[in-house]
Amino acid sequence: MARKKIEKPKTRKEDSIEDAEPGDYCYYLSASNKPTFAEVTGVMEERGMKVLKLMCQVDFKFMNLPAIICAFDEKLLKGKKRRELCPEVFK
């Protein structure tokens, strides 16, 4: 019997991450600076910066991350580092 192929949900590649809403899917930079797929479960504002509540679709862990290190398109995050994108949070 053939294996069932699992497909990732689609992301809104043309939109800005600032327009993210709960239920959307996006990519974020993990602790090892690799783009990782996640679902947006909430959006909030903290210290004048937009923060996304994410559920990682690889490890199934919940996290709160600044929107600066997230994007709808994986190519926008390749080669970037968390420390360079958001030095006030990641020192």
Q: Is 33 helix (H, G, I), strand (E, B) or coil?
A: coil
Which pLDDT tens digit goes with each residue over 16-72?
A: 899 999 999 999 999 999 999 999 999 999 989 999 999 999 999 999 999 999 999
- The model carries a pTM of 0.87
For the chain, domains (ranges, CATH) are 19-85 (2.30.30.30)
Rounded distance between C-alpha atoms, residue 38 and residue 3, angstroms = 24
